[in-house]
Structure 1
């Protein structure tokens, strides 16, 4: 079981991610605000972070860059979610371990998370 923090402003996406990953045996906390997310992630040090690109309070890329500067979280897997395909390259350049373009299937999400938790990330 992994401790996962998902930062997502869209309630439907947050509920789907929580359900899918919960059924896979993971503990998922969903946070809907960027500034609150950074503080929570820095304090709790989850096993994996799923971070939406567009958030209220702070943008996902800014949070990603800030997390990568923290020694305790510099190597934590971070999956970036974005509504547009071009955001994936930005996310990878900023330090994301992987990215998914919305909408995505629950099966794809579960496979990507499982791979990331086992150290297998896409290049």
Structure 2
């Protein structure tokens, strides 16, 4: 959960709306700095096979979200990515999404601690 302009936003709720669209294979929503030092929802979307990333696809994805959600929960930024960073257990690495800059690859995942062998 995060606050945006005094409203509580649930990223999972926004992701569920996006994931219902047939053009979406995977999606994650994270807060990013918005205007006036506040937070805004940003969606990272993996397009489904046969759907090209671009402005037209973004409009078709956001239209149902705008119709279904109150205006304070609308996704303000959408970026298409080939894959979402995940942990070994399958959870989205949201910290990597928040740290990512547009057009860059994801930062490398931290190394898992390796057990040391005893001599």
Indicate whether the TM-score tops 0.5: no
Larger radius of gyration: 2
TM-score normalised per structure 1: 0.30
- Name the structure where helix makes up a greater proportion of residues: 1
- Name the structure where strand makes up a greater proportion of residues: 2
TM-score normalised per structure 2: 0.30
